C-alpha cells in the first residue's frame, strides 16, 4: 500500500487461486502491479481492468483464462508489461496492444486495423489483381457497395456477403479482409488465390459460410478458425494446405459441412471432431492423414457422408461406425486399414455407398451387409478377404472383382 493506505501492488503468483477474476479489481485505481500468474483462474479477462490507469505490469501467464483479450486494456497508457501466455484465449490481439504483446508468443494474430468495409474491399481488390478479374463491375467506384459485383449489404450498409467464385482472383488474401466484421458469407472458390489463410478471419464472428476451395492456398489451417462459432459451412478442399487438422475445429458447434479433401494435411484425425454434433458431411479424403480412425466419430449421429479415403490410415474399421444412423456414404478406400469388416456396418440402414477397396482387410465378408437394402454400390476389391460372397450381396458385388465365389 502507499502512505495513504491505497493498494498499489497485488502479487499472488502460484498461490492456488481458482475461479474468475472479479470485475471489482478495476476499482483499485492506484494499482501499478497486478501479478496473478501460475494459478488456475478461469473465465474471461474483465474489461474493467482497462480502468486501472496507473497499471504498469499485468501478469496473467499460466492460467486457464478464456475468451478474447478485451480491447479496453488498450486504455492502459502506463502499461509497460502485459503477460498473457499459456492461457486458452481466443480471437486476436487488439491493435491498441500491439506494442505490449508478442502475438507469436501467445499464438494469436493481431486484429485487423479498424477500417471501413469499403477500405477492406479495396485492399482485397488490390491484393488479388482486381483489374484482371473476370467481373469487377463498379469496384473502386463511388457506387454503393451493394452495386459492386458480388457484394451484398444489410440495411445498415455493412457487407454481409462476398461471392467472387470463379472470378479470376490471384495473389493473397489481405489481412484487412478481417475488418468485414458483419460478413456472413465469404465465397471465393475456383480462383487462383495463393499464400496462407489469414488468421484475421477470426474477427468475422458472424461468418456462417467460408468457401475457399479450388485455389492454391498454402500453409497450415489456422487454429483460430475454431473460434468462428457461427460457422455452418467450411470448404477448403483442393488447395495445398499442410500440417495437421487443428483440434480447435471441434469447437465449431454449428458446423454442418467440413470439406478439407485434396490437400496435403498430415497427422491424425483429431477426436475433437466428434463434438460437431450438427455435422452432416466430413470429407478428409486425398490427404496424408495417418493413425487410426477415432472411435469418437461414431458419436456424429447426424453424419450422412464420411469420406476418409486416399490417406494413410491404419488400424481396424471400428464397430462404432455402425452407430451412425443417417450415414449414406462411407468412403474408406485406399488406406492401410487392417482386420475384419465389422458386422455392425450392417446396421447402417440408410447406406447407399460403401467403399472399402485397396486396404489390407482380412476375414470373411459379414453376411450382415446383406441387410443394407438401400445399398447400390459396394467396393471390397484389393483386400485380403477370405471365404465367399454372401448370397444377400449377389446383386451388389462382382465376385470376380473380389476374387471370391458366391456362397
Domain that holds residue 68: 9-106
What's the pLDDT at 288?
A: 98
b/e code 73-108 from CB counts within 10 Å (16+ = b): bbbbeebeebbbbbbebbbbbbebbeebbeeeebeb
- Record the cell numbers describing residue 397, joined without a space: 458385388
262 in any annotated domain: yes
Check the CA dihedral 143-145-148-154 and report its sign: negative
3 in any annotated domain: no
Question: Are 81 and 124 in the same domain?
Answer: no
What's the pLDDT at 105?
A: 64
Question: Are 329 and 199 in the same domain?
Answer: yes
CB count, 10 Å around CB of 309?
Answer: 24
Strand 9-11 to 33-35 pairing: parallel
* pLDDT classification of 103: cutoffs 50, 70, 90: low
Residue 5 burial (10 A CB sphere; 0-12, 13-18, 19+): exposed
Choose the final residue of a domain: 40, 74, 106: 106
pTM: 0.81
Q: Which of 182, 177, 171 has its CA nearest to residue 198? A: 177
2 in any annotated domain: no
What's the pLDDT at 3?
A: 57
- Record the cell numbers describing residue 393, joined without a space: 450381396
349 in any annotated domain: yes
CA 125, CA 193: separation in Å to the nearest integer? 12
Residue 68's contacts (CB-CB under 8 Å, 6 or more residues apart) are 44, 89, 90, 91, 92
34 in any annotated domain: yes
Question: Are 99 and 123 in the same domain?
Answer: no
What's the pLDDT at 310?
A: 98
CA 80, CA 138: separation in Å to the nearest integer? 47
Q: What is the pLDDT of residues 111-164, one digit of tens each?
A: 777 799 999 999 999 999 999 999 999 999 999 999 999 999 999 999 999 999
Ranked by mean pLDDT, the top range of 69-73, 325-329, 372-376 is 325-329
Contact 63, 87 (CB under 8 A): yes
CA 234, CA 223: separation in Å to the nearest integer? 13
Q: What is the pLDDT of residues 27-74, one digit of tens each?
A: 888 899 999 999 999 988 988 898 888 999 999 999 999 888 888 888
Question: Are 22 and 153 in the same domain?
Answer: no
268 in any annotated domain: yes
3-state SS, residue 329: strand
In this model, does residue 108 exceed pLDDT 80?
no
What's the pLDDT at 399?
A: 67
Choose the final residue of a domain: 106, 141, 160: 106
Secondary structure of the chain: what % helix, strand, coil (to 5)?
A: 20, 25, 55
CA 143, CA 40: separation in Å to the nearest integer? 53
What's the pLDDT at 4?
A: 65
Share of the chain above pLDDT 70, in %: 97
- Record the cell numbers describing residue 176, joined without a space: 484487412
Least confident of 60-64, 263-267, 365-369, 403-407: 403-407
Question: Are 135 and 13 in the same domain?
Answer: no
What's the pLDDT at 5?
A: 61
Residue 135 burial (10 A CB sphere; 0-12, 13-18, 19+): exposed
What's the pLDDT at 2?
A: 57
Question: Are 34 and 163 in the same domain?
Answer: no
In this model, does residue 401 exceed pLDDT 80?
no
Question: Are 292 and 239 in the same domain?
Answer: yes
| CATH code: domain of residue 22 | 3.80.10.10
Which residue would you say has higher pLDDT here, 390 or 193?
A: 193
* pLDDT classification of 165: cutoffs 50, 70, 90: very high
3-state SS, residue 39: coil
Mean local confidence (pLDDT), 382-388: 91
Name the strands in the sheet holding 192-195, side by side, starting at the edge strand that comes first in the sequence. 170-172, 192-195, 216-219, 240-243, 264-267, 288-291, 312-316, 336-339, 360-363, 384-385
CB count, 10 Å around CB of 223?
Answer: 18
Least confident of 87-101, 107-121, 194-208, 249-263: 87-101
In this model, does residue 95 exceed pLDDT 70?
yes
Which DSSP string do the residues of 353-383 spell out, in sequence order? Answer: EEE--SSEEEEPPPGGGGG-TT--EEE--SS
Q: What is the pLDDT of residues 337-353, one digit of tens each?
A: 999 999 999 999 999 99
Q: What is the pLDDT of residues 171-185, one digit of tens each?
A: 999 999 999 989 999
Question: Are 329 and 200 in the same domain?
Answer: yes
Determine which helix (DSSP H) or strand (DSSP E) holds 306, and give its type and residue range. Answer: strand 305-307
38 in any annotated domain: yes
Question: Are 88 and 212 in the same domain?
Answer: no
Mean pLDDT of the chain: 92
61 in any annotated domain: yes
Determine which helix (DSSP H) or strand (DSSP E) holds 187, and give its type and residue range. Answer: strand 185-187
Question: Are 242 and 294 in the same domain?
Answer: yes
Q: What is the pLDDT of residues 200-254, one digit of tens each?
A: 898 888 999 999 999 999 999 988 888 898 999 999 999 999 999 999 899 899 9
Q: What is the pLDDT of residues 277-323, one digit of tens each?
A: 999 999 999 999 999 999 999 999 999 999 999 999 999 999 999 99
Tally of structural domains, the chain: 2
Q: What is the pLDDT of residues 22-33, one digit of tens each?
A: 989 988 888 999
Question: Are 62 and 175 in the same domain?
Answer: no
What's the pLDDT at 313?
A: 98
Choose the final residue of a domain: 64, 86, 106: 106
Question: Are 95 and 140 in the same domain?
Answer: no
Amino acid at each position: 500500500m502507499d502512505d495513504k493506505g491505497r493498494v498499489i501492488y497485488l502479487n499472488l503468483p502460484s498461490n492456488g487461486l481458482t475461479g474468475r477474476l472479479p470485475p471489482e479489481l478495476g476499482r483499485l485505481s492506484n494499482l501499478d502491479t497486478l501479478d496473478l500468474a501460475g494459478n488456475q483462474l478461469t473465465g474471461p479477462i474483465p474489461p474493467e481492468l482497462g480502468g486501472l490507469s496507473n497499471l504498469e505490469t499485468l501478469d496473467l501467464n499460466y492460467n486457464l483464462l478464456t475468451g478474447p483479450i478485451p480491447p479496453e486494456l488498450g486504455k492502459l497508457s502506463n502499461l509497460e508489461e502485459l503477460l498473457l501466455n499459456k492461457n486458452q484465449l481466443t480471437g486476436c490481439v487488439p491493435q491498441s496492444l500491439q506494442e505490449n504483446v508478442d502475438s507469436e508468443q501467445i499464438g494469436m494474430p493481431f486484429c485487423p486495423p479498424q477500417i471501413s468495409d469499403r477500405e477492406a474491399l479495396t485492399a482485397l481488390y488490390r491484393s488479388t489483381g482486381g483489374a484482371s478479374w473476370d467481373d469487377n463491375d463498379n469496384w473502386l467506384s463511388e457506387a454503393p457497395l451493394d452495386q459492386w459485383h458480388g457484394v451484398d449489404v444489410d440495411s445498415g450498409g455493412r457487407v454481409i456477403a462476398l461471392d467472387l467464385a470463379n472470378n479470376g482472383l490471384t495473389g493473397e488474401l489481405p489481412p484487412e479482409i478481417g475488418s468485414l466484421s458483419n460478413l456472413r458469407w465469404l465465397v471465393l472458390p475456383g480462383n487462383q488465390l495463393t499464400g496462407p489463410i489469414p488468421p484475421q478471419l477470426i474477427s468475422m464472428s458472424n461468418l456462417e459460410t467460408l468457401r475457399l476451395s479450388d485455389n492454391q492456398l498454402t500453409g497450415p489451417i489456422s487454429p483460430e478458425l475454431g473460434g468462428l462459432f457461427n460457422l455452418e459451412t467450411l470448404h477448403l478442399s483442393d488447395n495445398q494446405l499442410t500440417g495437421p487438422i487443428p483440434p480447435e475445429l471441434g469447437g465449431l458447434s454449428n458446423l454442418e459441412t467440413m470439406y478439407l479433401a485434396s490437400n496435403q494435411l498430415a497427422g491424425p484425425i483429431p477426436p475433437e471432431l466428434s463434438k460437431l454434433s450438427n455435422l452432416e458431411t466430413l470429407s478428409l479424403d486425398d490427404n496424408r492423414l495417418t493413425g487410426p480412425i477415432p472411435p469418437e466419430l461414431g458419436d456424429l449421429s447426424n453424419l450422412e457422408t464420411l469420406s476418409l479415403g486416399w490417406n494413410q490410415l491404419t488400424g481396424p474399421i471400428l464397430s462404432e461406425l455402425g452407430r451412425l444412423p443417417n450415414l449414406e456414404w462411407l468412403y474408406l478406400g485406399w488406406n492401410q486399414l487392417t482386420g475384419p469388416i465389422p458386422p455392425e456396418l450392417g446396421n447402417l440402414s440408410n447406406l447407399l455407398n460403401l467403399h472399402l477397396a485397396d486396404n489390407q482387410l482380412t476375414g470373411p465378408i459379414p453376411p450382415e451387409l446383406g441387410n443394407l437394402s438401400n445399398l447400390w454400390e459396394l467396393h471390397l476389391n484389393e483386400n485380403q478377404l477370405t471365404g465367399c460372397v454372401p448370397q444377400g450381396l449377389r446383386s451388389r458385388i462382382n465376385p470376380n472383382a473380389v476374387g471370391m465365389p458366391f456362397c
